[in-house]
Chains A and B, each alone.
Chain A
Amino acid sequence: MSAPAAFTDDSAGGTLRFTGSLSLANLGDLPERLAAYDGQVEHIDLTGIERLDTVGAWTIHRLAQRTGADIKGLNPDAQHLFDQVQAADQPVSIRGQHVPAFYRVLGEIGEATIQTFKTMVGLLGFLGATTLAFGAIFKSIFVPPRRFRFNATVQRFEVVGVSALGIIGLMSFLIGIVIAQQGAVQLRQFGAEVYTINLVGRLSMRELGVLMTAIMVAGRSGSSFAAQIGTMKLTEEIDAMRTIGVSPMEALVVPRVLAAILMMPLLGFYSALISIIGGGLLCWATLGIPPVTYVQRIREVVPISDVYVGLIKAPVFGAIIAIAGCFQGMMVEADAEQVGLRTTAAVVQGIFLVIVLDAFFAVFFSSVGWI
Chain B
Amino acid sequence: MAEDDIVIRVRGLKNSFGEQVVHEGLDLDVRRGEILGVVGGSGTGKSVLMRSIIGLQVPDEGEITVFGEPTIDLEENQATEIRKRWGVLFQGGALFSTLTVAENVEVPIKEFYPDLDPTLLDEIASYKVVMTGLPADAGPKYPAELSGGMRKRAGLARALALDPELLFLDEPTAGLDPIGAAGFDELTLSLQRTMGLTVFLITHDLDSLYAICDRVAVLADKKVIAVGTIDELIALDHPWIEEYFKGPRGRAAVATQEAGTGKAGAD
Contact = CB atoms under 8 A, between A and B. Distances in A.
A, B from the same assembly = yes
Interface of A: 23-25, 31-32, 53-55, 58-59, 62, 77, 80-81, 84-85, 87-97, 334-335, 337
Contacts of B117: 31-32
14 contacts: A24-B109, A53-B195, A55-B124, A55-B163, A58-B127, A80-B194, A84-B194, A88-B126, A88-B127, A89-B127, A92-B102, A95-B103, A97-B140, A335-B97
Interface stretch (B18-26, B128-136, B209-217, B232-240): B128-136
B136 A90 contact: yes
Q: Which 5 A-B pairs have the closest CB atoms?
A: A92-B126, A92-B139, A53-B163, A88-B130, A94-B102
Nearest to B109: A24
B124 A77 contact: no
Nearest to B142: A96
Given A58-B120, A337-B144, 19 more contacts: A31-B117, A31-B120, A53-B195, A54-B124, A54-B127, A54-B163, A54-B195, A58-B127, A80-B194, A90-B127, A90-B130, A91-B136, A92-B125, A92-B126, A92-B130, A93-B102, A93-B139, A94-B125, A96-B140
Nearest to A90: B136
Given A54-B163, A81-B195, A91 B126 contact: yes
Interface string B243-257: 000000000000000
Given A24-B113, A337-B97, A92 B194 contact: no
Nearest to A86: B127
A99 to B, nearest CB: 13
Nearest to B105: A94
B136 A96 contact: no
A18 B75 CA distance: 35
B50 to A, nearest CB: 23
Given A77-B196, A88-B127, A94 B163 contact: no
B5 interface: no
Contacts of A94: 100, 102-103, 106, 122, 125-126, 139-140
Interface string B107-127: 001000100010010111111
B86 to A, nearest CB: 13
Contacts of A25: 84
B193 to A, nearest CB: 7
Nearest to A59: B120
A85 B140 contact: no
A81 B129 CA distance: 16
B88 interface: no
B57 interface: no
B148 to A, nearest CB: 12
Given A58-B123, A80-B193, A97-B140, A92 B103 contact: no
B171 to A, nearest CB: 19
Contacts of A93: 102, 139-140
B123 A62 contact: yes
Contacts of A81: 194-195
B133 to A, nearest CB: 10
B166 to A, nearest CB: 13
Nearest to B129: A92
Contacts of A334: 144
B261 interface: no
B190 interface: yes
B162 A24 contact: yes
Contact of B126 (A53, A87, A90): A90
A298 B140 CA distance: 67
A84 B195 CA distance: 10
Best-buried of B84, B120, B124, B144 by chain A (most CB within 10 Å): B120
Contacts of A85: 127, 131
A95 to B, nearest CB: 6
A89 B127 CA distance: 6
Best-buried of B126, B137, B163 by chain A (most CB within 10 Å): B163
Nearest to B139: A92
A23 B163 contact: yes
A81 B127 CA distance: 12
A32 B117 CA distance: 8
Contacts of B122: 94
A327 B109 CA distance: 42
A95 B124 contact: no
A31 B122 CA distance: 14
Contact of A335 (B144, B190, B193): B144
Contacts of A59: 120
A58 B163 CA distance: 12
A95 B120 contact: no
Contacts of B162: 24
Contacts of B102: 92-95
Nearest to A84: B194
Contacts of A24: 109, 113, 162-163
B56 to A, nearest CB: 20
Contacts of B139: 92-94
Contacts of B196: 77
Contacts of B129: 92
A87 B126 CA distance: 12
B140 A95 contact: yes
Contacts of B106: 94
A62 B117 CA distance: 14
Contacts of B97: 335, 337
Interface in B90-107: 97, 100, 102-103, 106
A129 B163 CA distance: 55
Given A62-B123, A81-B195, A337-B97, A88 B131 contact: yes
